[in-house]
Amino acid sequence: MDVGVDQRELYQGYGRSGIDAKGRLTIPATFRSTIDANSKEPSVTIALHEKSKCLIAYDQAWAHLLREELREDERAARASGENFDRDNRKRRAFGPVEKIPFDESGRCIIPAFHTQKANLTDLAFFYANGDTIEIWDPETLYASEEIDEDMKDLCRWTMSQKGRK
């Protein structure tokens, strides 16, 4: 059963995964437990980030909350006399997305379109922002001017930890 906004578990933390030739990666366990708590469905929706060259992942319950958020934005825009491009906002939110299942160990296949748009090739850096999870190609993250240095440093450190306990 999906949960409402007040009962949602927040996505917190970070992680990494290798990506194989078929586009398979593993969603870190800390995020899988949050997905399970929020939607009870072993799947995530993968979407393009609105501003950054990365992907976002979220549970199905968040998709329903996103729809309500768009409705609220439209009501607020109308009340203040502002333009609201309803069609394009909805297209962006619900068109270029894929709902993908993952197995008990978190393995899933990110669609080729999405991996290409986010430059994902052999490694992925996962970074939580409360409501969603960002999935970055490390080199793209390092080159992004809008990303703060602490996030870049954490990504560098996380990428250096492969195989270390």
pLDDT tens-digit map of 53-71: 999 999 988 888 888 888 8
> What phi and psi, each to the nearest 5 degrees, are found at residue 107?
-70, 135
Owner of token pair 């995020």:
31
Tokens for 93, please give them: 């939110």
Instruction: Indicate the pTM of the whole model.
Output: 0.85
CB 110 within 8 A of CB 55: yes
pLDDT at residue 27, rounded to an integer: 96
pLDDT tens-digit map of 20-51: 988 899 999 999 999 999 987 889 999 999 89
- Rounded Cα–Cα distance for residues 154 and 83 (Å): 39
Tokens for 140, please give them: 């793209």
What is the set of domains in the chain, with CATH numbers? 5-160 (3.40.1550.20)
H or E element, residue 34: helix 29-39
H or E element, residue 57: strand 55-58
pLDDT tens-digit map of 94-117: 777 899 999 999 999 999 999 999
C-alpha triplet 1, 97, 144: angle, nearest 5° = 115
Q: CA Rg, the chain, in Å?
A: 16
